Amino acid sequence: SLSRTLALIKPDAMKANHKDEIISKIKENGFTIVQEQQLLLSKEKASMFYKEHDGKPFYQDLTNWMSSAPIYALILEKQDAIQSWRDLMGPTDSNKARDTEPNSIRALFGTDGSQNATHGSDSQTSADREIALIFGEESSVEKEESR
Ligand code: CMP
């Protein structure tokens, strides 16, 4: 059935002006954009968003970077939305993506293994948590009611 995931366009892709091209790809691939918003994350919110990576060597750089400049957040809806969006993004490392999935979003619009253009939720539990964190609890309530 239809499900929802959270997509973020990260600061590298925003600064390189790739937002509109990424949104075109999202629409071409059959996703419905349920909500969208440009925002600047606080360091605190970025740390909560990535809490599963707390303790990893890249955690501080990642959360500093994600709160350093505007990002663009989208709630995407589609059949099997989480896996479908991850397939469209391609591998985490944009350099690897260019070798293996040259038409993927991270291959086309990302930089390297940390600045990789976009984020996608990795499970339904993560998607629900991330959507609530970015768009507020109301957006998850709305989803529960429409199930
Ligand atoms: P994302 O899908 O948003 O989830 C975690 C993020 O951490 C990832 O994309 C990258 O931006 C970053 N990341 C993952 N692995 C590494 C790594 N080995 N070194 C630096 N950054 C990483």
Q: What percent of the chain has pLDDT over 70?
A: 94
98 carries a ligand binding annotation: no
Residue 126's domain is classified under what CATH number? 3.30.70.141
> pLDDT, tens digit, for every residue of 23-78?
999 999 999 999 999 999 999 999 999 999 999 999 999 999 999 999 999 999 99
Domain region containing 142: 2-146
Residue 54: CB within 6 Å of ligand 1? no
Instruction: Please determine, for residue 145, whether its predicted confidence score (pLDDT) is greater than 60.
Output: no
**What pLDDT was estimated at residue 141?**
53
**116 CB within 6 A, ligand 1:** yes
Q: What residues are labeled active site?
A: 119
Q: Indicate whether this model's pTM tops 0.90.
A: yes
Q: What is the mean pLDDT of residues 89-103?
A: 98
Annotated binding residue 58: yes
Distance separating alpha carbons of residues 131 and 21, to the nearest angstrom: 23
Select from 19, 1, 2, 7 the least CA-distant residue to 126: 7
State the total domains in the chain.
1
